[in-house]
Amino acid sequence: MSPGLRLVRDLAATAIALGWLQRAISLMVHLPGIPDVRDAKYDAQPLGSLTVVVPARDEAANIEATLLSLLNQDMSALQIIAVNDRSVDSTGAIMARLAAENPEKLHVLHITELPAGWVGKQHAMAMAAAQSVSDWLLFTDGDVVFTPDALRRAVACAEMTKTDHMVLAPTLEQRNPDEGIVLGFFLAASLWSARPWKIPDPRAKRETIGVGAFNMVRREAYESIGGFAALPMEIVEDVRLGILLKRAGFTQRMVFGPGLVRVHWASGVSGLMGAMTKNMFAFFRYRPVMLLLGCVGLFLLCVAPFGWIFAGGALRYAGLITAAAIVLIYRAFGRISRISAWYAVLFPVGALLMIFTLLRSMVMTWRQGGVLWRGTLYTLEELR
């Protein structure tokens, strides 16, 4: 390699290492300033009312635990709308039984047909939101479990911080040791797309958030952007909802509360990769070139630096700085995520698994002619 190319290589490696170090230091500095809804100041009954929307299709294994945790909330002005979206298992029967036992709190919608031009989940959520009259709307999933004070504290925090769209970061449960490889990587790498402390900044247009397990939005903001009718064919509707709200100028915030909202995303590495496969190509708006560039970027940012450790000169220092920064990020996030910092050793493995998942998502979407989700095929022509 010529001296000129070696210099360019070393400068690029140094830039990557300094980028990781800057994110690690910023995380440690700013993380304590992000609201934790477990704080005593949020232990209050909020002024506004809340409707929780729970769309579910074939969630018989999980839906009862989710709805019982919502029915046990200690927030006074609370309504729950559960939507049985064309389930072929006992999801609808479970919902109906719980609604009969709790008629004042729980209402059930049964959807038997999906109109053209809609993804099932968005249609279900839009139908439920249209039947609600509360100040706040919380969109969640049929496999999420809440502690009794979670919603009261979240709404109180949103009101006190004057937030229009709030995401309470869910605690991702690990039931198999290998799940920490993917979950840890996902959290650390997310700092390159959205830094939690920058999300409330209206000038940081690209720093936005949306999480399907806990998307809470003020009704006025939801209706102002057209609700889910503005996103009828989005596969990653949670993220796109956050983008629309941020672009429209509404205040947005991610908050923490470890243990208050819990979800087991999927079982094992293979389960997590399968769960992400339907989403990954959608993140890149179904553009192969952008996805391939994303794979190259992930390799350079997350895999190559660990190989540099075994090189010499500037490359070794860049690799060591990157590895140290990633360990610091795992340690900082670990207080919230409960993912051990030891998983940082497997960070490049998580990156390779993510690259494989991205490529798999693109290939499967092409092969199927679209995204197969919960028994319904949404064609590429519709999604684009």
Whole-prediction pTM value? 0.94
CATH numeric code, 34-170+211-265: 3.90.550.10
Q: Using a CB cutoff of 8 Å and minimum separation of 24, what contacts does 328-335 make?
A: 328/24, 328/25, 328/27, 328/28, 329/20, 329/23, 329/24, 329/27, 329/187, 329/188, 329/191, 330/184, 330/188, 332/24, 332/27, 332/28, 332/31, 333/27, 333/187, 333/188, 335/258
| pLDDT recorded at residue 306 | 95
| 374 or 151, which is more confident | 151
In tens, the pLDDT along 3-13 reads 788 888 889 99
Read off the pLDDT band of 170 (50, 70, 90). Answer: very high
| pLDDT recorded at residue 216 | 98
Q: Work out the angle between the directed axes of helices 179-189 and 268-283 (0-180°, nearest 10).
A: 30
In tens, the pLDDT along 129-156 reads 999 999 999 999 999 999 999 999 999 9
Determine the straight-line distance between the first and last CA of the chain, rounded to whole angstroms: 44
Q: Where are the domains of the chain?
A: 3-31+269-383, 34-170+211-265
- Say yes or no to pLDDT of 55 above 80: yes
Read off the pLDDT band of 236 (50, 70, 90). Answer: very high
